[in-house]
Amino acid sequence: MELIEDVSRPPLVHVKGIPLIKYFAEALGPLQNFTPCPDDLLISTYPKSGTTWISEILDMIYQGGKLENCCRAPIYARVPFLEFQCPGIPSGLESLKETPAPRLIKTHLPLSLLPRSLLDQKIKVIYVARNAKDVAVSYYNFYNMAKVHPEPGTWDSFLKKILEFLGRSLPEEIVDIIVQHTSFKKMKENPMANYTTLPSEIMDHDVSPFMRKGITGDWKNTFTVAQNECFDDHYAEKMAGCDLKFRCSLKSQLRE
């Protein structure tokens, strides 16, 4: 594949007060001429809130649960990204022209930036939300790997950008407190975050704490060798044809 060089972390562009990836902002003009179909389904989410997860679920539903059909193309081709635009890659609108009905369409645009035609057509919409703290961490990591975003800098500086977007200004020491307070160790000890305020009839923390270890690979302390082999065989059978890979262990763990 030819290397695309013209995506070198351009600055965000604000449209009606909404910060957008430069290329996505440029797509808003042509997007106003988009004509939806009555049976289109719009997946509306904030980035890193489970968009791909719900997209795969819906595509499987539309394909009658047939795994081979859901492996027909990458998810971004099966569920076109409405406002997507990037040099050297088909835009969301171009992909939609090649997508047979009924179409699944994803968007991260707020209501104020959606094409009027979508609102007039009154198509079905599925909205997915996720807690803001997990979104922030996921989005930070996504910023690091997705080069159409500006350089995110450190986690501390990224958190400050969130504060700026929220219209809030906090002293450096307060930002440091937030960073420390939202570590796994601190949240595990915090009764306002670890669910220990619920009655034991609902959650029995004597059996297992809600927030356990915060590490990857702890399954090795529970699975026997035979159970692990059985699980691997069953997983391989049920997930045949799926190229989604998970890391079940890490060489090292970051501990507080």
Q: What is the pLDDT of residue 176?
A: 72
148: pLDDT strictly greater than 80:
no
Q: Kindly report, residue by residue over 55-74, the tens digit of the pLDDT.
A: 887 887 788 776 778 778 88
Per-residue model confidence as pLDDT tens digits over 92-135: 999 999 999 989 999 999 999 999 888 888 889 998 877 655 66
Domains of the chain, with CATH numbers?
Answer: 13-129 (3.40.50.300), 133-214 (3.40.50.300), 215-256 (no CATH)
Q: Which residues pair with 95 in a beta bridge?
A: none
- pLDDT attached to residue 95: 92
3-state per-residue secondary structure call for 25-60 = HHHHHHHCCCCCCCCCEEEEECCCCCHHHHHHHHHH
Degrees, nearest 5: CA angle 197-216-135: 65
| Per-residue pLDDT tens over the stretch 167-178 | 666 677 766 766
Q: Work out the average pLDDT over 200-224.
A: 58
Stronger pLDDT, 42 or 119, i.e. the higher one: 42
Q: Are 46 and 129 in contact (CB under 8 A)?
A: yes
Is 149 a residue of the active site? no
The residue from 14, 108, 149, 181 that is catalytic is: 108
